[in-house]
A and B are shown apart, each in its own frame.
Chain A
Amino acid sequence: MNFEYQVTGDDFSLAGRASSDIKKKLKQLGIPSCTIKRTAISMYEAEINMVIHADGGSISINIDDDIISIVLKDTGPGIPDLALAMQEGYTTASEAARELGFGAGMGLMNIKRNSDNLTIDSIVGQGTTVTILLKIGE
């Protein structure tokens, strides 16, 4: 089954709403707690990145028998150096975002650590698509 969310850019007060909603749905479906936690962390980090860097975008989540796939699409500035962006501690977050406790340069690493597969397709000036796959299981 599929769920779609629109994420508003630069509105930190609303950031994380999609992650919370999907978390609630996963609990209703009886998905194991550890998978829910990994999904919550991965999706939240990606959602926050979308708010901080890309002025929002859309999230599509597909839940099937044994895989949760999350696709986050934005039309933001893109990532010029993906290898650098994946390094822990590296950040291009604004001062405002950092003052709010975001943008510590841990986001992508955290997604990688908590998901089973992470793919990032990014074109500078056109946008980024982040695909996160998580296996359902203990």
Chain B
Amino acid sequence: MEDHYFHSVTLDASLCKGCTVCIKGCPTEAIRVQKGRAWIIPERCIDCGECIRTCPSGAKKAISDPISLLEQFDYCVAIPAPTLYGQFRASVSCNRILTALKSLGFDDVYEVAAAAEILSHETRDFLIQNKGKGTFISSSCPVIVRLVESRFPSLLDQLVPMISPMELSARIVKEREKDRPGKVGVFFISPCAAKVTDVKNPRGITHSSVDGVIGIKDIYKELKLAVSQVEEEEPLNKASALGISWARTDGEGAAVNSENHISVDGIDHVIDVLENLENGHIRDVDFVELMSCPGGCVGGPLAVENPYVARSIVSIREGRHREEESLSYAESFHPPKGVDLLWTEQLESRATHLLDPDYKTAIKMMEEIEIIRKGLPGLDCGSCGAPSCRALAEDIVLGKTSETDCVFKLREKIRDLTREMIQLESRMPPGLDR
């Protein structure tokens, strides 16, 4: 059993300058700066990678698996995310990219885009069967699943209870290779930090069929060289435009083909939509595709190309594939026999901001928080190391810090002390005081 709070997003303390930039952008208020360096509250982090994007010192990093992990397996299969196709100029064919990827030490490749096609059709059927039961939320982005668990648990029932395209790809490969002697390893080629976490601590299933997650950026140099050295392209590309489109915002939404869907990217926009869903403001929408990264998976922290350039390349490839419909996925959009698509585990609320399990104690703590908050300047300057005055008030009541962490409160205290000292200094001993 892996550590309950394993996270791929980590901090390199030697690079952190304690600048507090990261604490402001964290959507779950999971970062604090203390003693000159940032630290991540593990139970709050959802591995969205926002801190990786915003850290000016490059101190936030995503851990992924090294390619040397392949040595531990007898037969290795790469399952590249559709985003990989956005990392190379549109003139480089999908087959060339896949052939080059295979040459890095893999025995075979299976496109996650192909599994995405199967899931598009299954989700479409699911939405038809559940018509009228409210708005369903895509569960393909692992950050969104974790965000709903921690900040919007009332929406847990609205998540589409299906495994991700990455997971389905791994299951398909494992099913196909089940009679192969030796140890079969499946490796996701990922633009996404949260997928590393999702493999170690999956949601909705007990364990992942993926054996390793390799960041695109970590193999990009070798892959680029290999792409230029391909002599004969193998016909490895089976996925059509439908699956490739999942790399960008609205790819999944459009592929699911619901009558009323919305597609949202960027964690702030996603939170806004979830707030609106919880408030009952979003109605007449069957399906929401929520992507944590800007532009969708092409904006993932482990991708290399600019997300907007990558999105454009993906769109060009989609257009080209649509013209060659013969490439359409061979398994007719149905999962192979023996491969299950549904979640088997119930998702639970992970109330990471709960003040205390005892309601009466929590109320008392909140009353204290309100009193402390009203005494703070309300500037949300972040110099105390907390993202807002309210967060500092919470930390004080939770016993994690003190009021003098606020520079304004500290100054107030010093001023009071100075005044008191001056007053004391002016007092003479009673015998001399005439």
Give the B-binding residues of A (Cβ under 8 A). Answer: 1, 3, 16, 19-20, 23-25, 27-30, 33-34, 36-37, 40-41, 44-45, 63, 65, 101, 110, 114
Q: Which of B279, B356, B394 has a CB less than 8 Å from the CB of A19?
A: B279
Q: Is B132 among interface residues, defined by CB-CB distance under 8 A?
A: no
Q: Is B354 among interface residues, defined by CB-CB distance under 8 A?
A: yes
Q: A20-B275, A33-B349, A63-B363 are in contact. Are A27 and B280 (CB under 8 A)?
A: no
Q: Which of B275, B276, B278, B359 has a CB less than 8 Å from the CB of A30?
A: B359
When distances are taken between beta carbons in the complex, the residues of chain B under 8 Å from A63 are 363
When distances are taken between beta carbons in the complex, the residues of chain A under 8 Å from B367 are 1
Q: Which of A30, A44, A110 has a CB less than 8 Å from the CB of B362?
A: A30
Q: Is B281 among interface residues, defined by CB-CB distance under 8 A?
A: yes
Q: Please determine whether A29 and B279 come into contact, CB atoms closer than 8 angstroms.
A: no
Q: In chain B between 323 and 375, which residues have their CB closer than 8 angstroms to a CB of chain A? A: 349, 351, 353-357, 359-360, 362-363, 366-367, 370
Which one of B156, B275, B349, B360 has the highest number of Cβ atoms from chain A below 10 Å of its Cβ?
B275
> Given the complex of chains A and B, what is the CA–CA distance between A114 and B280 in angstroms?
10
Q: Is the interface of A mostly helix, strand, loop or mixed?
A: helix
> Given the complex of chains A and B, what is the CA–CA distance between A29 and B349 in angstroms?
14
Q: Is B229 among interface residues, defined by CB-CB distance under 8 A?
A: no
Q: Please determine whether A28 and B362 come into contact, CB atoms closer than 8 angstroms.
A: yes
What are the 4 A-B residue pairs with the smallest beta carbon separation, nearest first?
A44-B279, A41-B280, A33-B154, A37-B154
Q: Which of A16, A19, A23, A29 has a CB less than 8 Å from the CB of B355?
A: A29
Q: Which of A20, A24, A29, A34 has a CB less than 8 Å from the CB of B154?
A: A34
Q: Is B153 among interface residues, defined by CB-CB distance under 8 A?
A: yes
A and B contact pairs by CB, cutoff 8 A, 13 listed: A1-B370, A3-B370, A16-B275, A16-B279, A16-B281, A19-B279, A20-B275, A24-B353, A29-B366, A30-B359, A41-B280, A45-B280, A63-B363
Q: Is the interface of B mostly helix, strand, loop or mixed?
A: helix
When distances are taken between beta carbons in the complex, the residues of chain A under 8 Å from B363 are 1, 29, 63
When distances are taken between beta carbons in the complex, the residues of chain B under 8 Å from A24 are 353
Q: Is B151 among interface residues, defined by CB-CB distance under 8 A?
A: yes
When distances are taken between beta carbons in the complex, the residues of chain B under 8 Å from A110 are 280
Give A15's nearest chain B residue, CB to CB: B281
Give B278's nearest chain A residue, CB to CB: A40
> Given the complex of chains A and B, what is the CA–CA distance between A3 and B360 in angstroms?
17
> Given the complex of chains A and B, what is the CA–CA distance between A4 and B420 in angstroms?
37
Q: Please determine whether B280 and A36 come into contact, CB atoms closer than 8 angstroms.
A: no
Q: Please determine whether B362 and A29 come into contact, CB atoms closer than 8 angstroms.
A: yes
Give A19's nearest chain B residue, CB to CB: B279
State which size class the interface on B falls in.
20 to 34
When distances are taken between beta carbons in the complex, the residues of chain B under 8 Å from A29 are 354-355, 359, 362-363, 366
When distances are taken between beta carbons in the complex, the residues of chain A under 8 Å from B356 are 30
Q: Please determine whether B280 and A28 come into contact, CB atoms closer than 8 angstroms.
A: no
Which one of B279, B353, B357, B370 has the highest number of Cβ atoms from chain A below 10 Å of its Cβ?
B279
A16 to chain B, nearest CB (A): 6
Chain B 142-156 interface mask (CB, 8 Å, partner A; 1/0): 000000000101101
When distances are taken between beta carbons in the complex, the residues of chain B under 8 Å from A23 are 275, 278-279
> Given the complex of chains A and B, what is the CA–CA distance between A24 and B357 in angstroms?
16
Q: A37-B154, A63-B363 are in contact. Are A28 and B279 (CB under 8 A)?
A: no
Q: Please determine whether B357 and A30 come into contact, CB atoms closer than 8 angstroms.
A: yes
Q: Please determine whether B354 and A27 come into contact, CB atoms closer than 8 angstroms.
A: yes
> Given the complex of chains A and B, what is the CA–CA distance between A36 and B155 in angstroms?
11
When distances are taken between beta carbons in the complex, the residues of chain B under 8 Å from A30 are 351, 354-357, 359, 362
> Given the complex of chains A and B, what is the CA–CA distance between A74 and B96 in angstroms?
67
> Given the complex of chains A and B, what is the CA–CA distance between A63 and B362 in angstroms?
12
Q: Please determine whether A40 and B354 come into contact, CB atoms closer than 8 angstroms.
A: no
When distances are taken between beta carbons in the complex, the residues of chain A under 8 Å from B276 are 16
Give A33's nearest chain B residue, CB to CB: B154
> Given the complex of chains A and B, what is the CA–CA distance between A33 and B305 in angstroms?
40
When distances are taken between beta carbons in the complex, the residues of chain A under 8 Å from B359 are 29-30, 65
> Given the complex of chains A and B, what is the CA–CA distance between A134 and B280 in angstroms?
17
> Given the complex of chains A and B, what is the CA–CA distance between A1 and B370 in angstroms?
10
B190 to chain A, nearest CB (A): 31
B359 to chain A, nearest CB (A): 6
Give A35's nearest chain B residue, CB to CB: B154
B89 to chain A, nearest CB (A): 41
Q: A1-B366, A1-B367 are in contact. Are A27 and B278 (CB under 8 A)?
A: no
> Given the complex of chains A and B, what is the CA–CA distance between A44 and B153 in angstroms?
18
Q: Please determine whether A28 and B275 come into contact, CB atoms closer than 8 angstroms.
A: no
Q: Please determine whether B355 and A28 come into contact, CB atoms closer than 8 angstroms.
A: yes
Give B394's nearest chain A residue, CB to CB: A28
When distances are taken between beta carbons in the complex, the residues of chain B under 8 Å from A37 are 154, 278
Give B367's nearest chain A residue, CB to CB: A1
